[in-house]
Structure 1
Amino acid sequence: MSPSQSQKPILIAGAGLASLLFARSLLRARIPFLVFERDASVSFRGQGYRLRLSEEGLSAIEAVLGAEGFKIFWDACGKTGGSGFAALDAITGEQIAVGGGGGGTGQGRDGEKERERAAEGEEKKKGPTELLASREGKIVGISRGEMRRIFMEGSEEFIRWSHHVTGYEVTAEGVRAVFADGSKSVEGSLLVGGEGIYSKVARQLSPKLKVYDTGARGIHGQAPSGAFKRLGEGVWRVVDNDNPNGKAFMITNVRPGDMDDPNVEFGWTMGGPPGSIKAPNDNYSLIGKPAADLAKELTKNWHPRIRPLFEQMVESEAAFWKITCSTPGGVPEWENEPRVTVIGDAVHSMTPAGGIGANTAVRDSALLGRLLYEAGGYKEGLTAAYEKEMRVYASEAVATSYGLAHGSMGITIDENSKTV
Structure 2
Amino acid sequence: MSIPTQKPILISGAGLGSLLLARSLLRASIPFLIFERDSSISFRAQGYRLRLSSEGLDAIESVLGPEAFQGFWDKCGKTGGSGVAVIDAKTGSELPAVAKDGNPDKAADERPKFQPEPLVSRGGKTVGISRGDMRKFFLSGCESFIHWSRRVTSYELTSSGVSAVFADGSRSVEGEMLVGGEGIYSKIARQLSQGKLKVYDTGARGIHGQAPTTAFKGLGEGVWRAVDDSNPNGKVFIITNVRSGDMDDPDVQFGWTMGAQPGVIKAPNDNDSMIGTPAADMAKALTAHWHPRLRPLFEEMDASEAAFWKITCSTPTGVPEWPNEPRVTVIGDAAHSMTPAGGIGANTAVRDSALLGRLLAEAGGYKNDVTATYEREMRVYASEAVKTSYGLARAQFGVSIDENSKTV
Partner of 1:26: 25
1:145 pairs with 2:94: no
Bigger mean CA deviation after superposition, 26-35 or 274-283: 274-283
Q: Secondary structure at 1:285's aligned position in 2?
A: coil
User: Is the alpha carbon distance of 1:295 and 1:128 closer, same or farther for their aligned partners in structure 2, counting shifts above 3 Å?
Assistant: closer
Q: Is the CA contact 2:72–2:137 (under 8 Å) kept in the aligned structure 1? A: yes
Q: Distance in 1 between matches of 2:390 and 2:131?
A: 22
Residue identity in the other structure for 2:139: M
Q: Secondary structure at 2:210's aligned position in 1?
A: strand
Partner of 2:256: 268
**CA-to-partner distance for each residue in 1:170-201, whole Å, 9 max, x for gaps?**
11100000001110000000000000001111
Equivalent in 260, 265, 280 of residue 292 of structure 1: 280
TM-score by length of 2: 0.95
Q: Secondary structure at 2:407's aligned position in 1?
A: coil
Post-superposition shift, 1:130? Answer: 1.5
User: Is the alpha carbon distance of 1:379 and 1:118 closer, same or farther for their aligned partners in structure 2, counting shifts above 3 Å?
Assistant: farther
1:222 pairs with 2:249: no
**CA-to-partner distance for each residue in 1:347-367, whole Å, 9 max, x for gaps?**
100001111000000000000
> RMSD of the TM alignment (CA)?
1.8
Q: Is the CA contact 2:82–2:126 (under 8 Å) kept in the aligned structure 1? A: no
Residue identity in the other structure for 1:51: L
Q: Is the CA contact 1:127–1:403 (under 8 Å) kept in the aligned structure 2? A: no
Partner of 2:48: 49
Equivalent in 312, 317, 325 of residue 324 of structure 1: 312
Partner of 1:38: 37
1:157 pairs with 2:156: no
User: Is the alpha carbon distance of 1:226 and 1:80 closer, same or farther for their aligned partners in structure 2, counting shifts above 3 Å?
Assistant: same
Equivalent in 203, 214, 231 of residue 243 of structure 1: 231
Partner of 1:132: 119
Count of residue correspondences? 400
Residue identity in the other structure for 2:19: L
Partner of 2:174: 187
Q: Is the CA contact 1:168–1:177 (under 8 Å) kept in the aligned structure 2? A: yes
Q: Is the CA contact 1:80–1:234 (under 8 Å) kept in the aligned structure 2? A: yes
Q: Distance in 1 between matches of 2:344 and 2:83?
A: 18
Query: Percent of aligned pairs with the same residue?
Result: 74
Q: Is the CA contact 1:284–1:321 (under 8 Å) kept in the aligned structure 2? A: yes
Post-superposition shift, 1:282? Answer: 2.8
Residue identity in the other structure for 2:150: H
Q: Distance in 1 between matches of 2:374 and 2:189?
A: 15
Q: Secondary structure at 1:195's aligned position in 2?
A: coil
User: Is the alpha carbon distance of 1:102 and 1:394 closer, same or farther for their aligned partners in structure 2, counting shifts above 3 Å?
Assistant: same
Partner of 1:111: none
Ranges in structure 1 where 5+ consecutive residues have no aligned partner: 105-113
1:277 pairs with 2:278: no
1:97 pairs with 2:85: no
User: Is the alpha carbon distance of 1:278 and 1:103 closer, same or farther for their aligned partners in structure 2, counting shifts above 3 Å?
Assistant: farther
**CA-to-partner distance for each residue in 1:98-140, whole Å, 9 max, x for gaps?**
5xx6549xxxxxxxxx8xx959x97xxx896421111011000
Q: Distance in 2 between matches of 1:285 and 1:232?
A: 31
Q: Distance in 2 between matches of 1:354 and 1:370?
A: 27
Q: Distance in 1 between matches of 2:140 and 2:226?
A: 36
Partner of 1:306: 294
1:197 pairs with 2:192: no
Equivalent in 308, 320, 326 of residue 338 of structure 1: 326
**CA-to-partner distance for each residue in 1:199-238, whole Å, 9 max, x for gaps?**
1110111101000000010000100010001100000000
Q: Distance in 1 between matches of 2:104 and 2:60?
A: 32
Q: Distance in 2 between matches of 1:224 and 1:128?
A: 30
Q: Is the CA contact 1:78–1:255 (under 8 Å) kept in the aligned structure 2? A: yes
1:418 pairs with 2:380: no
TM-score by length of 1: 0.92
Residue identity in the other structure for 1:23: A
Q: Secondary structure at 1:350's aligned position in 2?
A: coil
Q: Is the CA contact 1:221–1:269 (under 8 Å) kept in the aligned structure 2? A: yes
User: Is the alpha carbon distance of 1:181 and 1:368 closer, same or farther for their aligned partners in structure 2, counting shifts above 3 Å?
Assistant: same
Q: Secondary structure at 1:235's aligned position in 2?
A: strand
User: Is the alpha carbon distance of 1:103 and 1:227 closer, same or farther for their aligned partners in structure 2, counting shifts above 3 Å?
Assistant: farther
Residue identity in the other structure for 2:291: H
User: Is the alpha carbon distance of 1:272 and 1:127 closer, same or farther for their aligned partners in structure 2, counting shifts above 3 Å?
Assistant: closer
Q: Distance in 2 between matches of 1:51 and 1:394?
A: 18
Q: Is the CA contact 2:152–2:187 (under 8 Å) kept in the aligned structure 1? A: yes
**CA-to-partner distance for each residue in 1:222-256, whole Å, 9 max, x for gaps?**
00010001100000000001111101110000011
4+ aligned runs moved over 3 Å, structure 1: 101-104, 126-129
